Amino acid sequence: MNKVYVFILLLVGTVYTANASVKEEADKAYQENDFKTAIEKYESILSAGQESADVYYNLGNSYYKDKSIAKAVLNYERALLLSPGDDDIRYNLEMAKSKTIDKVTPKSEVFIVTWVNTLRDIMSESSWSVFAIACFILFLLGISTYIFGNKVVLKKIGFSMAVVFLVFTIIGNLFADAQKDKLVNRTGAIVMQPTVTVKSTPNESGTDLFVLHEGTKVYINDNTMKGWKEVSLEDGNRGWVPTESIEVI
């Protein structure tokens, strides 16, 4: 059994080393403006199952430099899912979006909803989990101070700490769960074809509603029809598009 564990560790180490080497080659190709080679190398890392915000970000940069805007947007969006608080990713995503044709104005929402979503996206799932654990430890420290403190002042401080960090613990867990849900249940997608006509029904005979262009972000509402997806835009417009015309983030 020990030999099996050693073999697994060696295998993991070999794969990690190999991917690190490929990433160095990809980074070098990017720096030398050989974007097609960089794209090939970064894609091979992802194909090997080594998903990371850094690789998606670099791949998005490579596609952007190669003037493949839709693929740049797709990979920036994937990077942002893994690292939602990264300002560089968000900035480059907005730059890539500015090159797309469709300009969609999101529906207005209640201020508190926007504020909560912005706060949630400061950190990733793992970071919020660490935050929640740290706050829970401080909550236990506050409870201990309240129970075992031999002075009224200490008890008041302990009680206040316990209440504050209990709230923070709950918030951290809720945000971590929300970020995990975004990662697991990915409903966002990017239009990958130059143009796609959105239909009123999931077939070619449906009424033409509007046209979308590559790089536009949509949200999948209905995933049950073979060959078709019902999608919606941030402005509320919705309809059906062929499955092959979009790629899930």
CATH code at 72?
Answer: 1.25.40.10
Same domain, 17 and 45: yes
Q: Give the separation between CA 226 and CA 119, rounded to whole angstroms.
A: 37
Q: Which domain holds residue 8?
A: 2-97
Same domain, 69 and 153: no
Q: Give the separation between CA 34 and CA 155, rounded to whole angstroms.
A: 64
Q: Are 190 and 215 in contact (CB under 8 A)?
A: yes
Same domain, 207 and 179: no
Q: Are 230 and 240 in contact (CB under 8 A)?
A: yes
3-state secondary structure (DSSP) of residue 40: helix
19 located within any domain: yes
The total domain count for the chain is 3
Same domain, 68 and 115: no
Same domain, 204 and 117: no
Give the contacts of 65 (CB within 8 A, at least 6 positions apart): 30, 33, 35
Same domain, 7 and 74: yes
The whole-model pTM stands at 0.85
Same domain, 85 and 38: yes
Average pLDDT over residues 41-68: 95
Q: Which two tokens stand for residue 133?
A: 């654990």
Final residue belonging to a domain, choices 184, 200, 226: 184
Same domain, 142 and 219: no
Give me the phi and psi of 104, to 5 degrees please: -100, 125
Same domain, 193 and 179: no
Q: Which two tokens stand for residue 113?
A: 């909803």
105 located within any domain: no
106 located within any domain: no
Question: For 89-140, how does the pLDDT look when each residue is reduced to its tens digit (9 = 90+)?
Answer: 999 999 999 999 999 988 888 889 999 999 999 999 999 999 999 999 999 9
Question: For 148-197, how does the pLDDT look when each residue is reduced to its tens digit (9 = 90+)?
Answer: 988 999 999 999 999 999 999 999 999 999 999 999 999 999 999 999 99
Q: What is the pLDDT of residue 10?
A: 43
Same domain, 6 and 89: yes
Same domain, 87 and 171: no
103 located within any domain: no
Q: Is the pLDDT of residue 17 over 80?
A: no
